[in-house]
Structure 1
């Protein structure tokens, strides 16, 4: 009998830790330690599927463009769209760090509900498809994807990613990792109210702009070549080298295009423009290791994207090398400015 009680001890410890973890998220207690509001973007995109479905059923509607992307494709303005393209409306399903697995999660909902916009754009980037990046970002998987989706496509996630997903979904404190200095700051008079107001403003903006988050044209433009070079060098080191094209992200992208084809929705993949400093590295610097003739990121990635686009009846728009794109102002090495 005593031996049986000993065996129960680890289970009791686990349950106690699990329940204690959930106490941190009762009411609005998490507002005292959260350092990001990106979860609002993910929550809103799921809600926006209903809004899109309802709009498409209107008899007097405009044509609908949907965009699936990341932070590079979020800063659109409905006012600009209405002025420049009066016959169209934009529903922006871009999320911070967005990758093709998240696009597929939303597009599976389109297929289930027979949602057929007039055109779809998928933003694709080589850094989002590098499976050997030194910095691994899990925000999309942890914050944006439910367990059902992850389990259906589990064979296309690494075992480490799945273990990390289970751990962070089970223990939210492990996911958000409260920091003492943040809690101390929020406890100061008015600070937690400021954070709550920010969350409210973000929610309002996402609803008003149908998923976009407009920024002021004058905000954040990098006016120093030295700063831009520092940004490019850091991004290159963290996300591009060594470069190994992820077959799993290719799978997710292909699945997205197949769903759009099945719905008879015309589609394009867009390689959003990055700064000259980063473009040069992508085009010229070797990004492979342990090979006699290492290829550049562009040599590895771009042909696969063009082949995929052709096989799935989609367009491929290269805003970096194949088009004379007039804008070259950036807020960092990989984000175009609204200026």
Structure 2
């Protein structure tokens, strides 16, 4: 029988690719490898945790903490109204696609480190509760969940996402999600140092204050642009909607922590653009998601606030995010009626 070495070529090629892939196990790709957006935020939240631990104001003043997703980025100490401002400091730990698992892990870690807030805002979005949208869970698993975290949440991770996570571990480049166009751009400009926080302008902007991100500071984008964005995110998040089971236990676990530690808590549903809210109405989100969240929250002694109703600010940066200008009056309302109540 004649030798057929070419049959081994695919095997050799696979082994070669597998070995090259292991380059991405090097610490340089995991300790501090800032690309854009998600990786910058999740890294900054770790830095913010250390800053909070070393901030004397956190013990000298009343401490407020914010948890949630990008819809709560603009919550800022700057918005605390007089005369309360002089007595408070606020740190914003909201993260891209910040699901309740992430908020619980963040709060638990801070409490374990001895941080004791006076007031906590937990911002929730219904999209985070759809277990069929794996891309919502992915940023947290890749960048916000270490081994101790995995030991806690693994049992509640949907099977499909467990498989994705395992593939990310086998083929490391998947977990890095290397942005080749960004790499090429930085290489051409001689700006590879931008992978480090000390040279990354996006990180510097987020890290300048206490975690808030005021890029949504436009007064109002053109209606045509917002309507176009409505179609985009409606197709992405709400082409179908299924209320899953993975996140609700972590809302309850979060509330159990705040009740146990006697922390005043506000559970908030941020407002979205009216045309996008019609997708929520299609799937009866208020009835099947928010009302159970309200009931659960009040049973743990937390306040609840739904901004998706008439009379709340109607300025939007895009279909999913209110303008930061909205938060001036909204912060006043929160402090008068909840934080200082």
Structure-2 change in CA distance of 1:151 and 1:159 (3 Å): farther
| Contact kept in structure 1, 2:34 and 2:195, CA below 8 Å | no
Structure 1 residues 120-176: Cα deviation after superposition (integer angstroms, max 9, x where no partner): 010001111122348655112211111321232222111221121232244331124
What's 1:73 paired with?
72
Structure 1 residues 41-60: Cα deviation after superposition (integer angstroms, max 9, x where no partner): 2223233334334446866x
What's 2:61 paired with?
62
SS at match of 1:316: strand
What's 1:317 paired with?
305
Q: How does 1:83-232 map to 2 (within 5 A)?
A: 85-133=85-133, 136-178=136-178, 180-190=180-190, 192=192, 200-215=200-215, 217-218=217-218, 221-224=220-223, 226-232=224-230
Structure-2 change in CA distance of 1:222 and 1:198 (3 Å): farther
SS at match of 2:200: helix
How far residue 301 of structure 1 moved from its aligned partner, in angstroms, is: 0.9
Distance 1:104 1:76 in 2: 19
Distance 2:112 2:242 in 1: 33
CA RMSD of superposed structures (Å): 3.4
Distance 1:81 1:109 in 2: 25
How far residue 16 of structure 1 moved from its aligned partner, in angstroms, is: 6.5
Count of residues paired in the alignment = 313
Structure 1 residues 175-203: Cα deviation after superposition (integer angstroms, max 9, x where no partner): 24446544443332345466768953333
What's 1:269 paired with?
267
| Contact kept in structure 2, 1:240 and 1:297, CA below 8 Å | no
Q: How does 1:289-300 map to 2 (within 5 A)?
A: 296-300=284-288
SS at match of 2:247: helix
SS at match of 1:269: strand
Structure 1 unmatched runs, 5+:
1-11, 288-295
| Contact kept in structure 2, 1:135 and 1:238, CA below 8 Å | no
Structure 2 unmatched runs, 5+:
1-11, 326-341
**TM-score, length-scaled by structure 1:** 0.79
